[in-house]
Amino acid sequence: MKKNNGNSLARYIGYGIGAVGLDLSYGLFYSYLSKYLTDVLLMPAAFLLILTPIARIWDGINDPMMGVIVDSTKTRMGKYRPWILIGTFCNAVVLAMMFTNPGIRLGSVGMFVYVAVMYVLWGMTNTMADIPYWSMVPSFTNDPSERNTVSTIARTFSGIGQGIITICTPYALVLLGTGANEAEKKISAQGFSRWAIICAVLLVMFAVICVSVTKERHVVYNKEKFSFRKLFDVVKSNDQLVVFMIFAMLSNAGWYLTSGVGAYYFEDVEGDITKQSTFAIFGAVGSFLGLFVIPIMSKKYTRRTIYRFCLIMVIVGYLIMILCGPVLHQTMLLNIAYIIASIGIASMFVNQTVMLADIVDYGEYKTGKRSESTTFSMKGFLQKMAYTLQTIILFSGLGLSGYEGEAETPTALSQNTISVMTFVIPPILVLISFLAFSKKYKLYGELADKVHAFVDARQANMEKEAN
């Protein structure tokens, strides 16, 4: 890759490495916390249904507030990198504590309080790291094609982090567990705690590498203090941000549902949680292939067309998975079908990152003000809202079906409900997302060209004035 704007392949890779650690924490929390709480800590579904919306209400305050704080930060290290270090260290500590019982009796008030506090703190500390990390994308370059490159590299490493979690966690829980028998070892408290500590250490290590290698460019500092009115103005003035929040939340919730319920499906329906590792490997293959979709298709098609194609691939993949998994119980065919869905999912996430960078430019085009971190804070918020939707569906399904974490064999109703949540509901959510995107998203073609031309000209004038 040629150097451009002072950037190089090494810096892009260094930046991408940071995503590995973030997704280790993110993946473990969103994919396995539910299983840990219900089957290890024996937490009732009703409590978790109450806790999750409360935590998300706080996120609605905390996430945009953090975005404004980052936008107002100016240090010798830059605008984003100090917060990446602070956030990842704090998040690593909370992650390890979240999956570790310090000796509190199960079912006690103290356990409920401990889980609630750790749950909220994880969201806050994740915000501290995630917002500045992804907000750096526009600062690398103003060039749309180069943004595609950096976003693709970052999402590639993000997928590696997710892959480590989904592939390694089932085996790690067994190998690191100390249960009295094999059944206990699969869901042991010790296994979860030790694996979480390992992930926490890796999270910090990858953050240090990221901060050491990257360099912030094209940074606009904002001295404005946080206020809900200013946040409201940013959202109100950027109609495409609102549209993005809706369709991205729906599609992301679909994938989160499969990821989060997958542990239940392979443990309680297929009877072997380690089968999830094989499933994840096929998903990783699809995710890798999906990273080539945008570079290949962008030569001929608009981002809008590419994104629609990605969502269609996800839906088609899920339809095949429904047939191969819950209907025919052909695990190998299910794994192969997951490749198709994963190609679409990987491309979908890359597109979303690039689209959000374009939405930042669109906001500047409309208002004359640039708010990277405030805008990107909505990405973290929508992800958490997507997880909230996943959680509501998951725990409502488990509760209504009478699922009991300590039961050796779930009921047929519980097994059928788990299958529906894993493979049937996700494509429905993606389909609704597809319709919303097709009807309301407009940052493509002539409008997109106008926006990028405006931002380039404005940036050139600012640099000229500074010199």
**Domain CATH for 338:** 1.20.1250.20
Which pLDDT tens digit goes with each residue over 429-444? 999 999 999 999 998 8
228-242, 329-343, 411-425: range with lowest mean pLDDT: 228-242
pLDDT reading at 316 higher than 90 = yes
Q: Are 315 and 337 in contact (CB under 8 A)?
A: no
pLDDT category of residue 1 using cuts at 50, 70 and 90: very low
pLDDT reading at 238 higher than 80 = yes
Q: Are 264 and 32 in contact (CB under 8 A)?
A: no
184-198, 232-246, 250-264: range with lowest mean pLDDT: 184-198
| CA-based nearest residue to 63, from 123, 18, 118, 115 | 123
pLDDT recorded at residue 2 = 42
Q: Mean pLDDT, to the nearest integer, of 241-261?
A: 91
Q: Are 334 and 265 in contact (CB under 8 A)?
A: no
pLDDT reading at 466 higher than 60 = yes
pTM score of the predicted model: 0.75
Which pLDDT tens digit goes with each residue over 70-100? 877 777 777 888 999 999 999 999 999 999 9
- Report if residue 465 sits inside a domain: no
Please give the mean pLDDT across all residues of the chain. 84
- What are 78's strand-pairing partners? 75
Distance CA 257, CA 261 (A): 6
End-to-end CA distance of the chain: 29
Q: How many other CB atoms sit within 10 Å of the CB of residue 149?
A: 20
Q: Mean pLDDT, to the nearest integer, of 305-332?
A: 92
pLDDT reading at 337 higher than 90 = yes
pLDDT recorded at residue 222 = 59
Question: What's the one-letter identity of residue 439?
Answer: K
| CA-based nearest residue to 136, from 273, 14, 318 | 14
Share of the chain above pLDDT 70, in %: 91
Residue 276: domain span: 11-214+224-459
Question: What's the one-letter identity of residue 176?
Answer: L
Which pLDDT tens digit goes with each residue over 159-171? 888 889 988 988 8
- Report if residue 357 sits inside a domain: yes
pLDDT reading at 413 higher than 90 = yes
- Report if residue 88 sits inside a domain: yes
Which pLDDT tens digit goes with each residue over 16-67? 899 999 999 988 998 889 889 988 898 888 888 888 888 877 877 777 778 7
pLDDT recorded at residue 181 = 45
Angle subtended at Cα 377 by Cα 375 and Cα 379, rounded to the nearest 5 degrees:
90
| CA-based nearest residue to 172, from 151, 197, 148 | 197
Distance CA 118, CA 95 (A): 8
pLDDT reading at 425 higher than 90 = yes
| Count of structural domains within the chain | 1
- Report if residue 18 sits inside a domain: yes
Q: Are 377 and 127 in contact (CB under 8 A)?
A: yes
- Report if residue 3 sits inside a domain: no
Q: Which residues contact 215 (CB under 8 A, 6 or more apart)?
A: 6, 11, 78
Q: Which residues contact 410 (CB under 8 A, 6 or more apart)?
A: 268, 269, 403, 404, 418
- Report if residue 125 sits inside a domain: yes
Which pLDDT tens digit goes with each residue over 183-226? 444 567 888 999 999 999 999 999 999 999 887 776 655 555 55
More confident residue, 59 or 343: 343
Place of tokens 């600062």: 139
pLDDT reading at 386 higher than 80 = yes
Place of tokens 């809706």: 246
Q: Are 118 and 360 in contact (CB under 8 A)?
A: no
- Report if residue 467 sits inside a domain: no
Angle, helix 303-322 to helix 239-264, in steps of 10 degrees: 20
C-alpha distance from residue 93 to each of 18, 88, 205, 294 (Å): 17, 9, 13, 36
Question: What's the one-letter identity of residue 399?
Answer: G
Q: Are 279 and 422 in contact (CB under 8 A)?
A: no
| CA-based nearest residue to 195, from 98, 86, 91, 85 | 98
Is 75 in a helix, a strand, or coil? strand
- Report if residue 464 sits inside a domain: no
Q: How many other CB atoms sit within 10 Å of the CB of residue 192?
A: 27
